[in-house]
Amino acid sequence: MTQNIEQLKAQILELTREYSRQVHGMNRPGNDADRPPFIAGKSPVAYAGRVFTEDEVEAAVSSTLDFWLTLGKEGAAFEAELASLLGIKATLLVNSGSSANLIALSTLTSPLIDANRRLRTGDEVITCAAGFPTTVAPIIQNGCIPVFVDSDVHTGNINVEQLESAFTEGQTKAIMIAHTLGNPFDLATVLQFCKKHHLWLIEDNCDALGCTYTMPKQLANDLGFTKNSPGLDAGEDFIIRYTGSWGDISTQSFYPPHHLTMGEGGAVNIVSSMKLKRIAESFRDWGRDCWCPSGKDNTCGKRFDWQLGELPDGYDHKYIYSHLGYNLKPLDIQAAIGRVQLKRLPEFINTRKQNWEYLRRGLANLEEFFDFSLPTHATSWSLSGFTWDESACQTDCSWFGFLLLVKPTSPFTNSLLARHLDNLKIGNRMLFGGNLLKQPVMVQLKQESPDKIKIAGEMTGADILMNQGLFLGTYPGLTQAMLDYEIEQIQQFVKSY
């Protein structure tokens, strides 16, 4: 009987693989020989999307047949694998990057956090005006005040020069910012600032899985970092670590455009202390005090021996709540898909870099019309690569997209270019919400409760990114023919003026 069941599963999975090979050819990696050909002008060029083969589909079906459904062995394995890749204490799977951000910020409000560092209603959190809304929303949702800092137009990242003016003694407790489009922000300056003022750092790493940041060893040691991320080495004088492994907590998104996908999904990475894991897990899992995984009881060994709050002595620990939590868990099936994707990550990261470089070279003659972005700390780009101050910090970008700014002197605007590309089915995006302060939700908030947000200075950079910016895809589903088509069409568009 067992033998038959195993054979049956093997047959289903073999058929699943065959089905996937026949149906999902367009989702194979861009360099896969079995991908159907690209037909210029007919086939769309997506800016991002799922890249998978029959391996992911098999993993999903296999997990579905097991029908455990809620987080289980696949989830636990994925969490361990991602944490070990980043070289951090732990990872918690959640159902989206936005949920990860919500949990990360909520974690810092817990009564289990030391009183002088705990975030309370009215405390301030420094964030960026340009970017994605759910990097900022959890600050307000938790009753704290976001203090908006401007962005650097060359990198799309936080303008660190405004940090001091955003700080208020006794009120500022944390910084929560994203590595924009796979370009690490200036971690050295931000971490030094956090150390000086005893602030938490939440890195929104949703768009930046696989980026690295290299810091001179002495500086890294002063900031408490003595080890490279596993498998990385930048020589004796430097420490190199993945983004998402420098702050106290970091977050990932596994929504399809991101570096790896499981459909919906995200992660909270616990970097600085295991105490944060226990709290984050509680916020993810209904706010409960108990930390048993699904389907398990009595992990703590004293399930009926707790007395907490004003509950009777011995009340079942499974139903004791120490936080106002949520239920933000994904399915085990998602984790099964994610585990296959994780194996592809090194190749995905490489391809993103190659695609960025290919677009940069193909558009290099258009510098009169466009400002092209630079990795943080790079001083210029040329055909022979980026230039850096070799003794200082460096970044290696796992590009989420290819950001360009249409110069104000150009005879066209970013939105004219966007419309043109859209008509040609060439996927492109603005830098998410642009200057978030101009979004209807923020305008309304400013009008109704002006004391609920603060602005550290002029938001000139965020406005430029909004008014002139546009990004193209770098995702590993792009083929060389697609990239050539994009380049050719942009060249023709510019020539037409």
Which residue ranges make up the site for ligand PLP (CB under 6 A)?
Answer: 96-98, 101, 131-132, 134-135, 178, 204, 206-207, 253, 255, 266, 432
Question: Position 401: which residue type?
Answer: G
CB of 485 vs ligand PLP, minimal distance in Å: 25
Burial bucket for residue 184 (CB in 10 Å: 0-12, 13-18, 19+): buried
Q: From its phi and psi, is residue 49 left (phi > 0), alpha (psi between -120 and 50) or beta?
A: left
Question: Position 235: which residue type?
Answer: G
CB of 173 vs ligand PLP, minimal distance in Å: 20
CB of 101 vs ligand PLP, minimal distance in Å: 6
For ligand PLP, the closer of residues 202 and 459 by Cβ is 202
Strands (E), 104-232: 124-128, 145-149, 172-178, 200-204, 212-216
Question: Position 55: which residue type?
Answer: D
Q: Is 259 a catalytic residue?
A: no
The residues, any chain, with a CB within 8 Å of residue 194's CB and separated by 6 or more, are 175, 200, 201
Closest residue to bound ligand PLP by CB: 97
Q: Which among 341, 327, 347 is positioned nearest to 70, based on CA atoms?
A: 327
DSSP 438: G
CB of 100 vs ligand PLP, minimal distance in Å: 7
For ligand PLP, the closer of residues 97 and 338 by Cβ is 97
For ligand PLP, the closer of residues 49 and 266 by Cβ is 266
Cα separation of 224 and 241, whole Å?
13
**Active-site residue, from 179, 197, 198, 258:** 258
For ligand PLP, the closer of residues 98 and 214 by Cβ is 98
For ligand PLP, the closer of residues 96 and 269 by Cβ is 96
Q: How far is CA 144 from CA 125, 135, 136, 270, 436, in A?
A: 7, 13, 10, 22, 17
For ligand PLP, the closer of residues 284 and 317 by Cβ is 284
For ligand PLP, the closer of residues 176 and 494 by Cβ is 176
DSSP 471: E
Within 10 angstroms of residue 215's Cβ, the number of other Cβ atoms is 23
CB of 470 vs ligand PLP, minimal distance in Å: 16
Please tell me whether residue 483 adopts helix, strand or coil conformation.
helix
Strands (E), 400-457: 401-406, 428-429, 454-455
Q: How far is CA 314 from CA 99, 112, 291, 311, 435, in A?
A: 32, 21, 17, 8, 52
Cα separation of 146 and 40, whole Å?
45
Please tell me whether residue 366 adopts helix, strand or coil conformation.
helix
Task: Give the catalytic positions in this structure.
Answer: 258
